[in-house]
Amino acid sequence: MSSLRADVIRDQDALDDLERHWWPLWSQCGSATPFQSPAWLLPWWQTFAPGDLSAIAVWSGNDLVGLAPLYMERHASGSRLLPIGISLSDYLDILCAPGFEEAVGTLITETVLSLQWSQWILPDLSAEATSLGLVLPDIEESRSAGHAACPVLALSGDDTLTSSVPARRRRQLRRALRAAQRRGRLTIMRTEAASETFLAQLIRLHNARWAGQGGGVLTQSTIEFHRNALPRLAAKHLARCWLIEIDGAVVGAYYGFHHRDRAYAYLGGFDPDYAQESPGAILIGKAIAEAVQDGAREFDFLRGRENYKYGWGAEDRWTVQRVWTRNAP
């Protein structure tokens, strides 16, 4: 423990300077997802910065061995310590180098206790999250083991999907492909290398999908965030972006990620005029097949219990939320 030290990062430049150390740490963490990478969290903070930066970096010599990306949200009734990336990130966690879990966890909690907050909230923790091992003695805690459902499809076999996807959904997918081909020439393209072109189509199609229904998530600030994050994710080969054309018209977009043995379906959109051809389903089928080829063992549909996810054979996996409460100092 004496060989480790903790710094509280309080300004943007210092957080940005962590990136070259952050990537090696993130790469070592078996529980890390793209949502804990600097490609995701640095653009999030640059775009939103909704409070006072209070990230905790733990060092062993010149090596970053732990990182708790946090900020302080202040209200008249008290201050809340929250994770950077909250709301847009389906999984949140601290990072810790293998072999340092206990020492880093102790140092992070000691440093957190030195900050002035009335609540520390850690939502959206996966079952493997490092944050589940944190201990704050004598601090009141509430824990929700069923915080949010993330339906996950187990993958096996080959890209025909025979061993992974229910037969009914495979038949529906074949019908959708035939319907699309009857309407015109069908083209499916990987496009993360052309991030601006992809995002323009995603924004158009997502907004068309949700027009008048109030369910869209692409606000102006969120769009700005993705414009900053997607090129970073693509440069690290984490992004998976697909467009589908029917007879020259772009009618569907799929935005996802791939890391280690898991694929993630983050966001999509389609042209309602082509609903009968199910371009969204065609793209998900393509993304699942490519995930199998890339070695994924799971396809994570992320937060939300929409019916279509279960049609693919996904089963709920629940995240955990931890909330510590103390009297404001």
For the chain, what's the residue count?
329
152-311: same fold as 4-147+320-325? yes
Give dist(CA 19, CA 73) in Å, integer.
Answer: 24
Judge whether 9 and 15 are in contact, CB under 8 Å: yes
The SS3 of residue 139 is coil
φ/ψ (deg, to 5) at 80? -115, 130
- 152-311 folds as Aminopeptidase (3.40.630)
pLDDT tens readout for residues 32-73: 999 999 999 999 999 999 999 999 999 999 999 999 999 999
Return all residues near 176 (Cβ < 8 A) that are at least 6 apart.
Answer: 277, 278, 279, 281, 282
Helices assigned H by DSSP within 194-315: 195-210, 220-235, 279-293, 307-311
pLDDT tens readout for residues 147-206: 999 999 999 988 889 999 999 999 999 999 999 999 999 999 999 999 999 999 999 999
Beta strand ranges found along the chain (DSSP E): 4-9, 52-53, 55-60, 63-68, 70-75, 78-83, 95-96, 119-125, 140-144, 152-154, 186-190, 239-246, 249-259, 262-270, 298-300, 320-325
- How much is the pTM? 0.95
- 286-304 average pLDDT score: 96
Domain segments of the chain as ranges: 4-147+320-325, 152-311
The CATH class, in words, for 4-147+320-325 is: alpha beta
Judge whether 66 and 94 are in contact, CB under 8 Å: yes
Give dist(CA 112, CA 99) in Å, integer.
Answer: 21
pLDDT tens readout for residues 229-247: 999 999 999 999 999 999 9
Tokens of 216: 């869209």
With b meaning 16 or more CB within 10 Å and e meaning fewer, what string describes 259-283? beebbbbbebbbbeebeebbbbbbb
Tokens of 102: 């206990």
Residue 215 confidence (pLDDT): 61
Residue 329 confidence (pLDDT): 47
pLDDT tens readout for residues 218-230: 899 999 999 999 9
Give dist(CA 74, CA 56) in Å, integer.
Answer: 18
Give dist(CA 194, CA 95) in Å, integer.
Answer: 30
Give dist(CA 270, CA 203) in Å, integer.
Answer: 10
Judge whether 34 and 92 are in contact, CB under 8 Å: no
